[in-house]
Structure 1
Amino acid sequence: MPGVQRAMARLDVRGHASFGGRLTEGAHGRIAPVILRNGKGGDFRDFAAIEH
């Protein structure tokens, strides 16, 4: 995460957080199709937390 730390210092941010995202049909990658086949896809973004 050195790149993240450098970007945080350059932008003078207060902190960072990771959020769940969106996994829908057509997603790329090796694992995405397996997750979707198992019915675990969807939109898990928490917009209220993101805007905070």
Structure 2
Amino acid sequence: MFERFTDRARRVVVLAQEEARMLNHNYIGTEHILLGLIHEGEGVAAKAL
């Protein structure tokens, strides 16, 4: 599924997984993706947030 993602998008998903794990959530929701985007730090989305 992730083979079509860019390296940066994959990194965001990994960061989102880590955020969900730290919060003891058993799902990856929008809030985790947004946190992953912020922590990734590069790109338009991170700058906009």
Q: TM-score, normalised by structure 1?
A: 0.28
When Rg is computed on C-alpha atoms for both structures, the one with the higher figure is 1
Q: TM-score, normalised by structure 2?
A: 0.30
More helix by share: 2
